[in-house]
Amino acid sequence: MNPKTDNVDAAEIEKFSQLADQWWDADGELKTLHDINPLRLDFIRRHTVLRGEKVADIGCGGGILSEALAHAGAQVTAIDMAEKSLAVARQHAQEHGVDIDYRHMAAEELAQTMPEAFDAVVCMELLEHVPDPAAVIHACAALVKPGGTVYFSTLNRNVKSYLQAIIAAEYVLRMVARGTHEHGKFITPAELARMCRHAGLDVAALSGFTYRPLARDYVLCRSTDVNYLMCCRKPAP
C-alpha cells in the first residue's frame, strides 16, 4: 500500500478544494465548523492540558481547529490532502501571527515519519470522508505517545442523522453545501469504539453535540444520535 495516496478519495479532496476560499468565512459554507469549534476545544480541554504539548491535527482543512489549539498553547503540526486548503491555512496563520507546521500529507505517511511524537492527536470531521477510516484511526494511534490522547468527531448513522445532517442541514436549512456528506459513510459510536480498540486505544469519553435552532448555536449533549466526539487514550506501558 502507498501511505501517501491510497486512503484518499480524490472527489472528497476536490470538494473541499472548491470551498477553500471559504474556510475563514464564519458565515459561509463552512460556518458549521466555526460554530462547533468552541465546544470541541472545550471537550479536548476536559481531557488534555494543551499548553506546551505537541498536537497533531489530522485533516485540518483551513486550520479552524489548528489555530484554536495553537492559541491554547499547543505546538501544532497539521496535515491535509487538499493543497488549496493548506495554502489558505498557511496564509491565515501567517497574517495572524500563529505558528503552525502545516504539511501536505496523509495520516498514514505522518505516522511513518513521526511515530509516537505527539501528546495528543485530533481528527475531527474527517473519518466520514476517507475510504478506510480504520487505517486513519491506526495512524492516529501510531502518532500519539503512550499515555496520550486521541480525539475523533464524526456523524452517527441512523434515520435521525439522515434527516438532520443531510435533509435538514443540506437541503432545508442549507447550513452546509449539498453533497458535503454521504450517509453511508457515517460511523456509529459502537463502530468507532471497536476500530479504536483494534488500534490499541481505550475509549475514555464520549459526548454528543447538537444544534439549537432557536439559539442558532451548538452545545455538548448526552445524545450521540447525530454528531459526536470521542476521546481515546493510548495505554502507557
Cell numbers placing 60 = 485540518
Tell the residue number behind the cell numbers 445524545, with chain if given: 223
Q: Which of 54, 66, 70, 58 has its CA nearest to residue 116?
A: 54
Least distance from ligand SAH to the Cβ atom of residue 8, Å: 4
Interhelix angle for 133-143 vs 189-198, to 10°?
50
Least distance from ligand SAH to the Cβ atom of residue 129, Å: 4
Of the pair 83, 147, the CB lying nearest ligand SAH is at 83
Name the β-bridge partners of 231: 151, 205
Least distance from ligand SAH to the Cβ atom of residue 206, Å: 18
Q: Which of 108, 117, 111, 110 has its CA nearest to residue 145?
A: 117
Of the pair 119, 125, the CB lying nearest ligand SAH is at 125
Of the pair 71, 147, the CB lying nearest ligand SAH is at 71
By CB under 6 A, name the binding residues for ligand SAH.
Answer: 7-8, 12-13, 16, 33, 59-61, 64-65, 80-82, 85, 106, 124-126, 129-130
Of the pair 15, 194, the CB lying nearest ligand SAH is at 15
